[in-house]
Structure 1
Amino acid sequence: MTSSLHPLLLQLLLLLPLSPPPSASAARFACGGGTCQSLLGYAPPNATTLAEVKSLFQLRSLRGSLLAPNSLPLSTPSSLPLPLPAASLLRLRLPCSCSRGVGASFRRPLYMVKAGDTLDAIARGTFAGFVTSGEIAAANNLSDPNRVAVGQQLYVPLPCSCDAVGGEEVVHYAHAVAAGSSVARIAAEFGTTEETLMRLNGIKDPNGLQAGQILDVPLRACSSSISSTSIDRNLRVPNGSYILTANNCVLCSCSSSSWQLDCHPTQGISSSTCPAAMCGNMYLGNTSSSSPCERATCAYTGYTNKTSSFAILTNLTIQSLCNTSGAPPLSQPTSGAALRLGLQGVKLTELLIFFHIALLCLAFLSRC
């Protein structure tokens, strides 16, 4: 009996390595409610173009959904070949809607089934594992997920969220883990903490990440002066990107140097299409200094689009550049200037020592 079991066990052990390893499942991002704009980091598996990516993900705007989140010039043609020489990842801006505690891309992308397609191939191959075949089947009420018809249109629910994190408004970024990456490395790359990433994604072991695993990464957004009554009151822009708002008449960018939204009229749009955006005689985005301690900026505060009128709202904001004593901040000397000051101090000390020696010598000679 014992001898007959050994060959069977050996065969089973030999077969185990041939079984495919379990793939990292796509994440369902927690989302309490509401709608927003979220980001997804897509790495095209094959050579493609911006236009083809726009078509695949059913993006409404090339400029707003592709050029802006990747800080590409507005003049970039849709025929631009991908992947880009400087980066393999392309950030896509997607509309997000929350329902029953989970966020998903709002009503798109819509994918048309081709000959030879399966739900698993669509999920893993076409949409890079950001969704599972089961999630596609559930979103489209498919009774048999193994049977899809050529020409059938499927809604692909991509993960997203609109929730604040730690009391701060953020932009949620769906990130696919690269091979060899870690929680610490991802946190450092995107300016968040390991604790935040682990809590958001339910990670128990920070060393247990799998290549291809989808993580919810919160990106800090720039603060702004946008009014709570403005149509774009929920505008959130992360560092290193820009966004078009107010019917594309205003371009707002975010920089980590100030973490304050910087908005200007969009270049290249006809003045007849966009109303004037001014604070008195100062144009939107311009600054002026009435004194060394104050700087005035014509800041963007939103827009209204009523039946009879479309208006861009602005407000003159005053920034204090001085300390509490009323004196402007002192400029710090450069290393060269500090070195020169140090040398001057040394020369002055030497001169004082020489002067004292000379006085002692004169006193000594007068006694002789």
Structure 2
Amino acid sequence: MAPLSLSLSLSLLLLPLLFLLTPSPAAARFTCNAKSRATTCQALISYTPPPNATTTLRDVRTLFQLRSHRALLAANALPLTTPQTAPSPSPIRVRLPCLCSGGAGATFQRPTYTVRAGDTLDAVARGAFAGLVTYRDIAAANNVSDPNRVAVGQDLWVPLPCSCDPVGGVGVVHLAYVVPAGSSVAGIAEEHGTTEQTLLQLNRLPDAKSLLAGQVLDVPLRVCSSAISSTAVDSNLRVPNASYILTANNCIMCGCSSNTWQLDCQPTQGLTSAVCPVAKCGDLFLGNTSVTTSPASPCEGTACLYAGYTNTTSFAILTNLTSSSMCDAAGLSPAAQPSHSSASGLGLPALWSWSELVVGIHIVLLCLGFLHRD
């Protein structure tokens, strides 16, 4: 924690001079048209740690007051064995609760910041929170009349922009993203799996040329579909690509991969049955599939899918036995594939797919043929 604190202290001393020369970006307000008076969801923040600082995962967790180290790992698809002392990725995604009210969204109650000697709201906004928020936002949220005069030791709520709205009628996870210098709308759209038009409309940009470095964009991330029941406690579970989430009292790990866009839920490894009940569909364990080997229907199979959990009378994990096509997009049968697919970035060993193996064998045979002919 000491290297980050020292870096932040030096940055906050120098930042006021830079701010006199650098115009402050306009406040970012993400549209959130809640149907009820107040609606909450889970949103993501893309945070870039201070340059030239050794920022650890623990530092990030402390800054944003995250209750769980595992949640930070999950949002960034890091293995659960990753220690808190590991260096933070840059940027790093932080999952926070979002509250929608009055047509706009802001992170709910967190994060907070304790004012230090020499702090101004502009220095806190740009220095500590990397431009994700403006001093105007912090001042308005905390009823501060003079942004240059805040009391040392005062706790400030830092309302980071977020949203819970569907996009195009489809549920998404909204990412608050600070535009790096040299970026383009097309590049940001391609990187995050969305379209230029969606970004322009969502952020009320007249055209792609109006994009500014340092601007905070609302970037919608596609999520995987699931078989979770609408009556389950985690019925609103939304997991974007290249990440996972722990649910059902951490007993279930659900990952999302762009290969299938289907939520892949497995029992969390390392937890005993004394803590987590066994999740099965009859004789089939959660996350496994049973493939039909009949030549007439080689692609038909059944899968034991996660359907949520309940806490009404007792803790129970729900499952759903589902029949579906088990072939990939090329129509190949998964006879030689693993019994379940692993979520991207979970630290599991990568295996060759059946199609890759077939292509490799053909290449070897062709090479042998040419050698024999010579």
Deviates more, 1:284-293 or 1:91-100: 284-293
Unpaired runs of 5+ residues, structure 2, are 1-18, 335-353, 367-374
2:209 is paired with a residue whose SS is: coil
Which of 233, 236, 241 lines up with 1:234 in the alignment? 236
Deviation string for 1:246-268 (max 9, x for gaps)? 11100000000000000000011
Q: Offset of 1:208 from its aligned partner?
A: 2.5
Encode CA deviations 1:150-204: one digit per residue, 9 max, x unaligned: 1111100001101100111111011111111110110111111100000000111
Query: How much does 1:273 deviate?
Result: 1.1
CA distance 1:19–1:105, shift in 2 (3 Å): closer
Residue 270 of structure 1: how far off its partner (Å): 2.2
On the 8 A contact 2:24/2:134 being kept in 1, the answer is no
Change over 3 Å in CA distance of 1:299–1:19 after alignment to 2: closer
- CA shift in 2, pair 1:340/1:99, >3 Å: same
Provide the C-alpha distance between the structure 2 equivalents of 1:242 and 1:26, rounded to a whole number of angstroms: 31
User: How far, CA to CA, are the matches of 2:318 and 2:243 in structure 1?
Assistant: 22
Looking at structure 2, the residues matched to 155 and 37 of structure 1 have their Cα atoms a distance apart, in angstroms, of 18
Work out which of the residue numbers 62, 69, 76 in structure 2 matches 1:55. 62
Name the SS for the 2:292 alignment partner: strand
Can you list the C-alpha shifts for 1:282-315, whole angstroms capped at 9, x where unaligned?
A: 1110111133231211100000012x41000001
Cross-structure match for 2:26? 25
Q: Which amino acid aligns with 1:138?
A: A
Q: Any idea what SS the aligned residue of 1:104 has?
A: strand
Pairing 1:151-230 to 2, within 5 Å after superposition: 151-230=153-232
Report the secondary structure of 1:226's partner residue. coil
- Selected match of 1:74 from 71, 76, 80: 80
- Is this contact kept in 2: 1:293–1:328, CA < 8 A? yes
- What percent identity do the matched residue pairs reach? 62
- The residue that corresponds to 1:135 in the other structure is 137
Deviations 1:217-268 (A, max 9, x none): 0010000000111111110001100000011100000000000000000011
Q: What is the one-letter code of the residue matched to 2:60?
A: V
Judged with a 3 Å threshold, the aligned counterparts in structure 2 of structure 1 residues 72 and 335 are, in CA distance, closer, same or farther, namely: closer
Distance, in Å, in 2 between the alignment partners of 1:159 and 1:27 is: 6
TM-score with structure 1 length normalisation? 0.80
Paired residues, number: 316
Q: Give the TM-score taking structure 2 as reference length.
A: 0.79
5 Å matches for 1:209-358? 209-291=211-293, 292-306=298-312, 308-321=313-326, 334=359
User: Quick check: which has more Rg, 1 or 2?
Assistant: 1
Match of 1:113 in 2: 115
Aligned-CA RMSD value: 2.5
Using the TM superposition, give the Cα deviation of residue 63 of structure 1 relative to its aligned residue in structure 2, in angstroms: 0.6
Query: Structure 1 CA distance, aligned partners of 2:123 and 2:323?
Result: 56
Q: Structure 1 CA distance, aligned partners of 2:360 and 2:112?
A: 59
Rounded Cα–Cα distance in structure 1 between residues aligned with 2:77 and 2:155: 32
